[in-house]
Structure 1
């Protein structure tokens, strides 16, 4: 009988743009411009960690 060769699981890969194409962004707050005001409301800026897309949200 032959030798038993142990197989390793392939490492998990991080999705780069795959999930972002379907609207599943990974938003992170941009710290350098956190306190802006627009129309009298506080504005928070977000940037996706995977694809770099930005969005602005007024509170």
Structure 2
């Protein structure tokens, strides 16, 4: 009879970051810097809930 080898659970990956690597971010509006202005336009700041990447959109 052979030896019993205990298996270990694989380490968990960072939560849901796999989708962000392919450009599928989950954008959320950052509320603390709400009224920013850039070149005379209103600026909205977004942050991805999964990976933390930020983007700025001027209207």
What TM-score, normalized by structure 2, do the two folds share?
Answer: 0.73
Aligned pairs, number: 45
Q: Measure how far apart 1:52 and its partner are.
A: 0.3
Q: Which runs of 5+ in 1 are unaligned?
A: 1-14
Structure 1 ranges of 4+ moved more than 3 A: none
Show CA shifts across 1:13-56 (max 9, x none).
xx521000000000000000011000000000000000000000
Give the CA RMSD over aligned residues. Answer: 0.8
